Amino acid sequence: MVFAEQENDRNAVLAGLFAGLCFGIFWLPLRIVEDAGIAAPWAQALFLGVPALICLPLAWRQRLEFLRGRGGLLGGILTGVAFALYAASLLYTDVVRAVLLFYLLPIWGFLLGWVILGDRITAPRWLAIGLGILGMAIIFADETGIPLPQNMGDWFGLASGLFFALGCTLILTDKRVGAVTHTVNFFVVGAILSVAVAWIMTTRGQIGLPAAADLNATLIWLVPVSLLFILPAGFATIYAPARLNPGVVGLLFMIEIAVAVVSAALLADEVIGLREVIGLPLILCAGLVEPLLILRRSRLAV
């Protein structure tokens, strides 16, 4: 029984790392859609809307959980809200500030885990939080000050981390709803809010509606990308919180920052300087502290 628990925890760690890896290169298909002539808000809406539509058959299959889940559905709903808020923060504030404010997530996660779950914030966890924040501060030192909210986009970024931590906590504590149903909620709620943001910006004249020709050209490859890349990443995003402390999940997802920086350097010719060379290992260490402890415990349990 103990071995099975350790095995599940290890799988959850791998799922969290996989989600961080996938969303770390999420910028690439997003940029391709933008280069095709579709404004960023509508591109984001597409990247959540297409998986949401693909999920609809799963919603029918899981209909009994939707009918019986009640409050148990809230965890997946809040993660969808968080993702949409994070996407909106990227539009309304500097990308760097949005990332920094969202990735205060491990702090909120560990605090919620302490208050709601009774999990202690151990010395390794404090170490991981410190390493992660220090690594981000070094990488972004010349681009932003202390990440205190200063505008609407900043507040979106901060709220997205809080909502995601709370959603992860509810997913972990309420077992009435499975990961598949939470994943459906994650995409559907995120898609609805993303479409709403894009529509508001369109009605205000800030962006234009996507042209039909651009949409047709994009959907040809966006559908398989959604099926093979975005959907598995979304499921991994939900599966990890179903097994792990929300603060640990936040640390795992911080791998996204390292992957994004390295992939941008390799694929978009963005320069990795001294700050990245120093900061990235710190972030990687922060994301791996708890997973290594979990893997060590699983080996000792054999």
Mean pLDDT to the nearest integer, 6-28: 81
DSSP classification of residue 122: -
Instruction: Return the pLDDT at 187.
Output: 93
The string of DSSP codes covering 9-59 is HHHHHHHHHHHHHHHHSTHHHHHHHHHTT--HHHHHHHHHHHHHHHHHHHH
Q: How confident is the model at residue 142 (pLDDT cuts 50, 70, 90)?
A: low
Judged by average pLDDT, the poorest of 39-53, 134-148, 230-244, 246-260 is: 134-148
**Count of domains in the chain?**
1
Domain that holds residue 74: 2-301
Instruction: Return the pLDDT at 114.
Output: 87
Model pTM?
0.82
Where is pLDDT greater, at 283 or 82? 82
Instruction: Return the pLDDT at 4.
Output: 47
Mean pLDDT of the chain: 82
For residue 179, pLDDT over 90 is answered with no
Q: How confident is the model at residue 191 (pLDDT cuts 50, 70, 90)?
A: very high
Q: Cα(100)–Cα(84) distance, rounded to whole angstroms? A: 16
For residue 144, pLDDT over 60 is answered with no
- In tens, the pLDDT along 201-238 reads 899 988 888 888 888 888 888 888 888 888 999 999 99
**Number of neighbouring beta carbons within 10 Å of residue 40:** 17
- Contact present, 12 and 240 (Cβ < 8 Å): yes
For residue 2, pLDDT over 50 is answered with no
Q: How confident is the model at residue 14 (pLDDT cuts 50, 70, 90)?
A: confident
